Structure 1
Amino acid sequence: MTVEEIIKKDLGTIIDVRSYGEFMGGHVVDSINIALNEIPERLEEIKNLTMPLILCCASGNRSNQAQQLLSQQGIECYNGGSWLDVNYYKSK
């Protein structure tokens, strides 16, 4: 299953890893905000979310870093890239 299909079928949880200020400027409906720098201290919370995780940010760079970090912890997650792309897939 592709990331686009996971988003369209509303499987898992969408996490926006941008800062709170960026998130408040616009985000995917029903996504949650956990900034990239907060991930290590919020691992237990993240592990309790519905999997798989779709990670997004402004361009895909921070979500790629988050994906690598979480994958090393054995968490099923995918880099969704830009939150605008994820939002587009969700609206289709």
Structure 2
Amino acid sequence: MGNSASGEELSAALKQGAMIVDVRSPGEFAGGHATGAVNYPLGGLASKMDTLKQTGKPVVFCCASGGRSGSATDMAKGVLPQEVINGGPWQNVQKVVSSM
């Protein structure tokens, strides 16, 4: 699985209008998530690839610890033409969003 992106990588992608995709369960997402994130649980992510492809924007995946977002990033790299980034824990992504 890909390592989590650095703050600089996240910041650069978010400045380009990256879509933040939280791949946790709806219950986990409801308990807190990065501002502006959408919830596409990992189990159903394959069905959302066309939607993500159509945005044409970088995609930042996040989850609770970085494991599921790493899996999502690996899955998307073979499908999406745009940049895909493992944002790691959603709190890390939120820190970058808050500092912008």
Counterpart among 59, 70, 76 of residue 76 in structure 2: 70
TM-score normalised according to structure 1 size:
0.89
Provide the residue aligned with 1:51 in structure 2.
57
Query: Matched residue pairs, number?
Result: 91
Q: Which runs of 5+ in 1 are unaligned?
A: none
Provide the residue aligned with 1:14 in structure 2.
20
Alpha-carbon distance in 1 for matches of 2:16, 2:29: 20
TM-score normalised according to structure 2 size:
0.82
Alpha-carbon distance in 2 for matches of 1:57, 1:10: 21
SS at match of 2:68: helix
Q: Which runs of 5+ in 2 are unaligned?
A: 1-7
**Alpha carbons of structure 1 residues 44 and 59: separation in structure 2 relative to 1, 3 Å:** same
**Aligned partners of 2:16 and 2:58 also within 8 Å:** no
Identity of aligned residues (%): 34
**Aligned partners of 2:19 and 2:57 also within 8 Å:** yes
RMSD: 1.6
